[in-house]
A and B are shown apart, each in its own frame.
Chain A
Amino acid sequence: RKEVEQDPGPFNVPEGATVAFNCTYSNSASQSFFWYRQDCRKEPKLLMSVYSSGNEDGRFTAQLNRASQYISLLIRDSKLSDSATYLCVVTTKGTNAGKSTFGDGTTLTVKP
């Protein structure tokens, strides 16, 4: 079993739709959680950090459930420009450093 698991999709949705992605992690010692976005053949870029209290940034809402070891990302009013792969990232604090583990990503295609 992978340390960080995501539904690979693809998710194909019409513009304006609401879509939710889920991510589960296996290491209960994980400390920090992020969603990154990766466009085709480009590098990953931070979308948002994920906090236990949940956080929102415009159309994007991220939630963390530590008890269930589960992270979610909700995108409301999808735009064509939201088409990308969304990577769930979990960081565990090691002896000297934080190790980041990426999920394999969920692909979203927003269609007109």
Chain B
Amino acid sequence: DTGVSQDPRHKITKRGQNVTFRCDPISEHNRLYWYRQTLGQGPEFLTYFQNEAQLEKSRLLSDRFSAERPKGSFSTLEIQRTEQGDSAMYLCASSVGRDSSSETQYFGPGTRLLVL
């Protein structure tokens, strides 16, 4: 399967713990996006990478959230000191091309986080 993959698919943690999620984009895709989705809502943009550079971050991304894409391939999203409000589906997407605004984004299956 050459689509976007995410690991883990599910994560249950206790409030206050740190969690890290991984996303492997489609291999030739230079752009990578992180979104958060809660029940009944559309995906909310969190952050965006072009190659290894983090070009945009949402105001939703508090100091407890950090994302990296060190070699321009896979990416990690870490949430420190998790809160119950962090419970959501975390989606990763990737795309390729010269103009990010017109590209199709391909989504991974998501990591479903539950903070107890």
Contact = CB atoms under 8 A, between A and B. Distances in A.
Interface of A: 4, 8, 31-32, 34, 42-46, 49, 87, 91-94, 96-105
B21 interface: no
A60 B102 CA distance: 20
Contacts of A98: 99-103
Nearest to A43: B107
Given A43-B107, A102-B42, A91 B50 contact: no
Interface of B: 31, 33, 35, 40-45, 48, 50, 55-56, 91, 99-110
A100 B105 contact: yes
Contacts of A96: 50, 55-56
Contacts of A103: 42
Contacts of B41: 104
A32 B101 contact: yes
Nearest to A44: B107
A4 B42 CA distance: 10
A45 B105 CA distance: 8
A43 B101 contact: no
Contacts of B99: 93, 98
Contact of A104 (B42, B45, B91, B102): B42
9 contacts: A31-B102, A43-B109, A44-B91, A49-B102, A94-B55, A97-B48, A99-B48, A101-B45, A102-B35
Nearest to B101: A98
Given A97-B50, A99-B48, A43 B40 contact: no
A31 B42 contact: no
B8 to A, nearest CB: 15
A11 B16 CA distance: 40
B77 to A, nearest CB: 16
Given A91-B102, A93-B101, A43 B91 contact: yes
